[in-house]
Structure 1
Amino acid sequence: MPIVMAAAGQVRAHLDYPTCIGLMRQAMIRLSLGETRQLPRQILRLDNGMLGVMPGAIGPADAFGLKVVSVYPGNFAKGLPSHQGMIMLFEPEHGVPIALVDAGEVTRIRTASASAAATDALARQDARVLAVLGYGEQAEAHIAAIRQVRPIERVLVWGRNAAKCTRFAGHVGMTGIACEVAATPAEAAASADIICTVTGASEPVLSGADVRPGTHVNLVGSSHAGPAEADNALVAGSRYFVDSREAVLAQGAEYLRARDAGLIDETHILGEIGEVFGGSVPGRTNPADVTIYKSLGQIIQDLASAWHVYSCLSAAAETSLAGTVTAQ
């Protein structure tokens, strides 16, 4: 069986945001129901970045596989993706390898789509103003994905480099939405209904004192224990939801900091987002709630996305082959 190769352009062609948002909902429901299997990510620290290895299986009738990805945060400034690697898929019946899919493009799309799915479940219905802390590739992807679930009228963006932030805002503005540069994270948060943190910050950039009641926050930038984007007050004062309880208890930096400070315990994690999607755990209960979705990223999200791309390419190849046979 030939291995299907899916480059970044093919991923983009077959994995649009509306499709991927739906895939993320279903994948996270399955995770919370215990239908999926995955091991904790393994991270090897490098001089300029890191190497991550993540194996998992969506379910008995679907593909299993692993993602191997390098993460070089400085790449974006050089016009290169920060995440580069491959997702290898195996078919479930005989364990035959069937596909290699560009991991950087899948990661870019599915990370933002997972946040958008969580936003749809947790943000107020009347949310119109989006604040984004960070100006890298995930900032752009999050703006595009969040616009699929809420009619965003205004975007505020903050980043440490004012010139880069201004260029980013201008680029976003070309897509037809008003985008303004905020001088500080507090200024960005002051009028926001939804906040996405997609930074490489080692210490919190978003404070609980800066977030107004009723805001929904997606914490995305920190994917392992150590660097944190939100302070303890914001975590402790929120209705706190996670992609994976097990993963956040081990690697959720913001949660671990607030817990170690004695402000919260495990009961502060109200549920996994898959439980909210499935209806077994309530999300927002009051218009004034501050809700948080902590995203670490799960391999089943990558596998669900890569399996979809593989299925589309396989179907297209079969159609093309059938047409060739008919023509002969």
Structure 2
Amino acid sequence: MIILTHDDVADLLPMHEAIEAVETTMKQVSLGTAALPLRSVTPVGGDNRMGLMPGAIAEPACFGVKMISLFPGNPARGLSSHRGAMVLFESETGGAVAMMDASLLTAIRTAAASAVATRALARDAASHLAIVGTGEQAEHHLDAMICVRKITRLSIAGRSAEKAAAFAARATRLYPDLDISHGTDIEAAIASADIVCTVTASPTPIVKGAWVASGAHVNIVGSSIPTMREVDDEMVKRGDIWVDYLPSTLAQAGEIVDMIKAGTFSADQLKGEIGAHLSGEIPGRTSPDQITIYRSLGIAAQDLAAAHHVLTRAQAEGRGQNVSF
């Protein structure tokens, strides 16, 4: 088994490569070649949770499990809110071949998935990006969006003006040509944006559908359990929604679960899985004024594709620590 650290993952999984790996596996998911049990979540005290995400994919042939903890208070300590390990197995003999840091792997593959959907659904000329949230996912989503669209303007909104300013400063250092604004006013940030990414840990809606401009593309990313939701009912009603995996959407996307239970939305109103669109099975954007939404929950297939990519590069470059059992 090869043990790979946070730094190894950072070096071996650049965003542009992660995007291609995730796009390939999302097509497989919608073709039915992946085995994806729903994420199980265990409370571990207070607002903290541990999640287990097993799965298997056919190409590249591998299976594995991500063991990840979600501690919302970690950013205040200078730590990622998601910490854990990804264990990858090979399919020929069932051996465990790699274990790697899961926090950065999760952050990169999540942003890469949003980029895949944005490349497929956002208008070609989209150039104004709004990010709601100022944490780790915000930074990776900025990198990912820049990979798939020519972003010239960035609007940042967060609960803390200080954190929004700090994120803006980091973004300026990385992308000095961007026109960047920041603050706590979410409505102002997204009002004229072409692409909106919501990447917060808010348990209740903080983004209203009425605020989104016609023709915008929205990536709803931050909430991954049914008791959390970042967007209101109007967002669901105004936009056309593609998802990563229908079974998890119907079980774990808070706004979808709530509205189906209330009888104000039905599963057949979802456009379908993004992989089905990428494979040409279902249409994508049909007009410039259409609001397109990608509802991201994150699935094990994305972790497996990203982890296999990291392992392949590690083996080729002699990275990681080899251990035997």
Q: Judge same fold: TM > 0.5, yes or no.
A: yes
Amino acid at match of 1:161: S
Cα contact 1:232–1:257 (8 A) shared by 2? no
1:93-172 alignment runs, 5 A limit = 93-172=92-171
Letter in 2 for 1:133: V
1:73 aligned counterpart, secondary structure: coil
Residues 260 and 307 (structure 1 numbering): CA distance in 2 closer, same or farther, change over 3 Å? Answer: same
Structure 1 residue ranges without an equivalent (≥5): 319-328
Work out the CA distance in 1 between the residues paired with 2:259 and 2:293.
14
Q: Is contact 1:249–1:256 with CA below 8 Å preserved after alignment?
A: yes
> Aligned with 1:57: secondary structure?
strand
Structure 1 residue ranges, 4+ long, deviating more than 6 angstroms after superposition: none
Distance in 2 (alpha carbons) for counterparts of 1:317 and 1:152: 36
- C-alpha distance in structure 2 between counterparts of 1:60 and 1:105, whole Å: 23
* 1:30 paired residue number: 28
User: 2: distance between equivalents of 1:45 and 1:70?
Assistant: 10
Q: Is the 8 A contact 2:60 2:308 kept in 1?
A: no
Residues 173-182 or 303-312, more deviating: 173-182
- 1:118 maps to amino acid: A
Q: CA shift at 1:48, angstroms? A: 4.4
The answer to whether the Cα contact below 8 Å between 1:52 and 1:69 also exists between their aligned partners in 2 is yes
Q: Is the 8 A contact 1:61 1:92 kept in 2?
A: no
CA deviations on 1:54-107 (whole Å, 9 max, x unpaired) are: 110012761111000111122122211111111111110110111101111100
Equivalent in the alignment of 1:269: 270
In the TM superposition, 1:70-89 aligns within 5 A as 70-89=69-88
Aligned equivalents of 1:274, 1:287: Cα separation in 2: 22
Percent identical among aligned pairs is 40
Paired positions, count: 316
**1:38 match: secondary structure:** coil
Q: Out of 12, 20, 23, which is 1:14 matched to? A: 12
SS at match of 1:170: helix
Structure 2: which amino acid aligns with 1:291? Answer: T
DSSP-derived class of the 2:286 partner: coil
Distance in structure 2 (CA, Å) of the matches to 1:44 and 1:243: 23
- Give the CA deviation at 1:202: 1.1
CA shift digits 1:27-77 (9 cap, x unpaired): 110000000001111101122411011110012761111000111122122
CA contact (8 A) 1:241 1:272 kept: yes
- Unpaired segments of 5 or more residues in structure 2? 320-325
Q: Identify which range, 167-176 or 107-116, moves more after superposition.
A: 167-176
Match in the other structure for 1:292: 293
Counterpart of 1:314?
Answer: 315
- Paired position in structure 1 for 2:220: 219
When structure 1 is superposed on structure 2, of 167-176 and 144-153 the one drifting more is 167-176
Structure 2: distance between partners of 1:165 and 1:261: 35
Q: Quick one: distance in 2 between partners of 1:220 and 1:108?
A: 11
Distance 2:111 2:120 in 1: 14
Matched residue SS, 1:288: coil
Alpha-carbon offset, residue 258 of structure 1: 2.5
Identify the residue that residue 321 of structure 1 maps to in structure 2: none
The answer on whether the counterparts of 1:56 and 1:299 sit within 8 Å (CA) in structure 2 is yes
Aligned residues of 1:222 and 1:296 also touching (Cα < 8 A): yes
Q: Which amino acid aligns with 2:301?
A: I
1:305 aligned onto 2:306:
yes
Which residue of the partner structure matches residue 323 of structure 1?
none
Q: Distance in 2 between matches of 1:33 and 1:152?
A: 32
* TM-score for both structures, normalised by structure 1: 0.94
Q: Is the 8 A contact 1:236 1:258 kept in 2?
A: no
Larger radius of gyration: 1
**Alignment check: 8 A CA contact 1:170 1:179 kept:** no
Cα deviation, 1:184-239, whole Å, max 9, x if unaligned, reads: 21111111000000011111111111011000000000001011111111101211
The CA deviation at 1:316 is: 2.4
Measure, in 1, the Cα distance between the counterparts of 2:261 and 2:240.
18
SS at match of 1:58: strand
Q: Distance in 1 between matches of 2:59 and 2:144?
A: 30
Alignment of 1:29-48 (within 5 A): 29-46=27-44, 47-48=46-47
Please state whether the residue corresponding to 1:174 is helix, strand or coil.
helix
